[in-house]
Amino acid sequence: MKNKIYKFLFLKKINLTKAYRSAYYIFKKRFTNNYLIKSLSIISIPYFTYKIINNIINRKIDFYELEFPITTICSLKCKYCSNLIPRYENPINFPTNVLIQDIESLFGMVSKIYNLKILGGEPFLHEKLDKILDFIIKSDKIVYITIISNSTIVPNEKILNILKNKKIEVKLSNYNNIKELNKVDEIIKVFEKYKIKYQVINNPWFDFGNFKSRNRNIKQLREIFFKCPNRYFANVLFNGQYYICPRSAHGTDLGLIPKKKNEYFNLRSNKSNIEKKEELMNLINKIEFINTCNYCDECLIENPNYNIEVTPGEQN
Ligand SMILES: C[S@@+](CC[C@H](N)C(=O)[O-])C[C@H]1O[C@@H](n2cnc3c(N)ncnc32)[C@H](O)[C@@H]1O
Ligand code: SF4
pLDDT, tens digit (0-9, with 9 covering 90-100), for 20-76: 555 555 555 444 444 444 455 455 556 556 666 666 666 778 888 899 999 999 999
**Ligand 1 pocket, mutate which of 72, 148, 297 (most atoms under 8 A from CB):** 148
> Cα–Cα distance between 264 and 94 in angstroms, integer?
19
Once rounded to an integer, what is the mean pLDDT over residues 72-83? 96
Query: What's the CA-to-centroid distance between 181 and ligand 2, angstroms?
Result: 13
This prediction has a pTM of 0.86
Give the residue with greater pLDDT, 227 vs 5.
227
Q: Is 76 in the pocket of ligand 2 (CB under 6 A)?
A: yes
Residue 282's pLDDT is: 85
Which ligand minimizes its atom distance to the CA of 77? 2
244 close to ligand 2 (CB < 6 Angstrom): no
Helix axes 129-138, 96-107, angle to 10 degrees: 20
Q: What is the mean pLDDT of residues 184-188?
A: 97
Please give the Cα distance from 86 to 254 (Å, whole number): 11
Does 79 score more than 90 pLDDT? yes
Proximal ligand: closest to the CA of 177? 2
pLDDT of residue 2 exceeding 50, the answer is: yes
Listed in sequence order, the residues at least 6 apart from 4 whose beta carbon sits closer than 8 Å to its beta carbon are: none
> Does residue 74 have its Cβ closer than 6 Å to ligand 2?
yes
Q: Residue 229 has what pLDDT?
A: 78
pLDDT band at 305 (very low <50, low <70, confident <90, very high): low
Tell me the pLDDT of the chain averaged across its residues: 85
Average pLDDT over residues 290-310: 76
- What spacing in Å lies between the alpha carbon of 211 and ligand 1's midpoint? 19
**pLDDT at residue 56, rounded to an integer:** 63
**219 CA to centre of ligand 2 in angstroms:** 33
Q: How far is the CA of 99 from the centre of ligand 2 (A)?
A: 20
Ligand 2: nearest atom to the Cα of 313: 2
Per-residue model confidence as pLDDT tens digits over 222-250: 888 877 878 777 899 999 999 999 999 99
Of residues 138 and 284, the one with the higher pLDDT is 138
Distance from the CA of 56 to the center of ligand 1, in angstroms? 33
- Work out the average pLDDT over 200-210: 90
Domains, the chain, ordered by start: 61-310 (3.20.20.70)
Average pLDDT of the residues in 116-120: 96
Mutate-to-test residue for ligand 2 from 67, 68, 70, 83, highest number of ligand atoms within 8 A of CB: 83
Distance 30 CA to ligand 2 centre (A): 35
Report phi then psi at 68, rounded to 5.
Answer: -135, 85
The rounded distance, in Å, linking the Cα atoms of 186 and 160 is 13
